[in-house]
Amino acid sequence: MEIKLNNVCAFGDSVMKGIVADKDNSAGRGLKYRISEMGFAERCRRNLNIEVENFARFGGVVSQGTKLVERYKEKIKECDFVLFEFGGNDCDHDWGAIAEKPDEIHRPKTPMEQFMGIYSSMIDTVKSLGSMPVLLSLPVLDPNKFFNFVTQGLNRSNVLKWLGGTVLSIDRWHEMYNMAVFRLGALKRVPVIDITSVFLEKKDYSDYICEDGIHPNEKGHGLIESAIMEFLQERRVALL
């Protein structure tokens, strides 16, 4: 059975929006953010010749996402698929607070229980509107780049102390929330497009990540596009 595809709504964070970070020594952190014309959502729109309403926001978390879903209900009713990409900001921490008080407990921006509950509710809303929710897993995080970026101007020794003495543990929460996305897909019986593995399959996936360690660069967006196209082929999606 073929699935007809004509238009898509997208909700998520800066990865979904197509934000990339370029080196810029004039910027405060040596990086300048911009919306790339080669972001994966835009690539798919052009490739498939479909309408994509991209409501993603820089810094987006699920609590913002659910408000946008409510705001754009009428748009969602017209969509065949609704793409969701959340978790990368939800699992992030206040690194300044950590640097100041490394012996205290610090929680992610969106605690896991809230993340699961809000995300689940968004999925239910989209289903009730007659559209198909499709979740994206998280792209990989580069621990070394990310640590160097978020600790600029901070007490790095204190942050490293909180991390247990190794930079490699900095992506532990990222992995937890990524697993939560797959868990949600299974619980809600909605498809999850694995955009994680296409990075991990590369010998050095760092080449596909911007210098901030979290945003895919334009080559990385090409990997995500390939994962989405493979998903569509496997689901026998046809274009109107």
In this structure, the number of other CB atoms found within 10 A of the CB of residue 187 comes to: 11
Note whether 136 and 56 are within 8 A (CB): no
**In the prediction, which pLDDT does 213 show?**
96
SS3 track for the chain: CCEEECEEEEEECHHHHCEEEEECCCCCCCEEEEECCCCHHHHHHHHHCCEEEECCCCCCCHHHHHHHHHHCHHHHHCCCEEEEECCCCCCCCCHHHHHHCCCCCCCCCCCHHHHHHHHHHHHHHHHHCCCEEEEECCCCCCHHHHHHHHCCCCCHHHHHHHCCCCHHHHHHHHHHHHHHHHHHHHHHCCCEECCCHHHHCCCCHHHHECCCCCCECHHHHHHHHHHHHHHHHHCCEEEC
Q: For each of the chain's 240 residues, which pLDDT tens digit applies?
A: 455 678 899 999 999 999 999 887 654 557 899 999 999 999 998 988 888 999 999 999 999 999 999 999 999 999 999 999 999 999 999 999 999 999 999 999 999 999 999 999 999 999 999 999 999 999 999 999 999 999 999 999 999 999 999 998 999 999 999 999 999 999 999 999 999 999 999 999 999 999 999 999 999 999 999 999 999 888 766 544
**In the prediction, which pLDDT does 237 show?**
60
The CATH number of 3-94+110-148+173-239 is 3.40.50.1110
**In the prediction, which pLDDT does 49 show?**
86
The Cα 14–Cα 238 span in angstroms is: 28
The Cα 155–Cα 235 span in angstroms is: 49
Q: Which residues face 5 on adjacent strands?
A: 239
Residue type, 78: E
**In the prediction, which pLDDT does 23 show?**
82
**In the prediction, which pLDDT does 48 show?**
87
Note whether 171 and 143 are within 8 A (CB): yes
Q: How do the domains of the chain map onto residue ranges?
A: 3-94+110-148+173-239
Note whether 138 and 174 are within 8 A (CB): yes
**123 CA to centre of own chain:** 16
